[in-house]
Amino acid sequence: MLIKINYDRCKNCGKCVEVCPIGIIEMMDIPRIDETRCIKCKTCVAICPFKAIEIK
């Protein structure tokens, strides 16, 4: 699985952190996703208003 966050598009709004059903996205200076625990639900992809997250 490949998770990409386009940090040029990301505005650190935190919506991805709020909607992750298993709580694996942390907001530090930028969002970080624990790829080893991701269940590929793509909720973060759907909620991102800036289209900054991609899961393949």
Is residue 1 over pLDDT 80? Answer: no
pTM for the predicted model, two decimal places = 0.88
- Tell me how far CA of residue 15 lies from CA of 28, 48, 53, in angstroms: 13, 7, 11
Higher pLDDT, 56 or 14: 14
Is residue 12 over pLDDT 90? Answer: yes
Task: Indicate the domain borders of the chain.
Answer: 3-55
CATH topology of domain 3-55: Alpha-Beta Plaits (3.30.70)
Kind and range of the H or E element at 46? helix 43-47
- Per-residue pLDDT tens over the stretch 28-53: 889 999 999 999 999 999 999 999 99
